[in-house]
Amino acid sequence: MRPPDDKTMPVQDTDHADFWPLFARVLGRPVPPGDYTPADLPEWDSLRHVELIFELEAHYGIDVPQDRIAAMFEGTGAILAHLRESAARPG
């Protein structure tokens, strides 16, 4: 099962290329880099989203505040934005 072709996009260095294999592992399916929402990927339900948050925290060594967890459920763009913000923060 593939996501719609119009959702795929090239990955830039700032887009955390290592996010995509992690995301695919959590969803249990291949997911090429792209701009997705949960509506695009039926496997991305609320339970998988919480699992994704745990995986992101462990992999990147970050904490995701509770108020950001729901915001990150908007789509991969919101997740990548949070990862960029976390990487830019000192410490």
Measure the CA–CA gap between 48 and 69, rounded to whole angstroms: 12
pLDDT recorded at residue 19 = 96
For the stretch 13-37, pLDDT in tens is 345 889 999 999 999 999 999 999 9
pLDDT recorded at residue 58 = 96
Measure the CA–CA gap between 23 and 31, rounded to whole angstroms: 7
With a pLDDT cut of 70, the percent of the chain lying above it is 81
Measure the CA–CA gap between 25 and 27, rounded to whole angstroms: 5
Query: Given a cut of 80, is residue 10 above it in pLDDT?
Result: no
pLDDT recorded at residue 7 = 53
Measure the CA–CA gap between 43 and 26, rounded to whole angstroms: 9
Residue in the block written with tokens 């995701």: 64
Distances (CA, A) of 85 to 8, 16, 82, 88: 23, 12, 5, 5
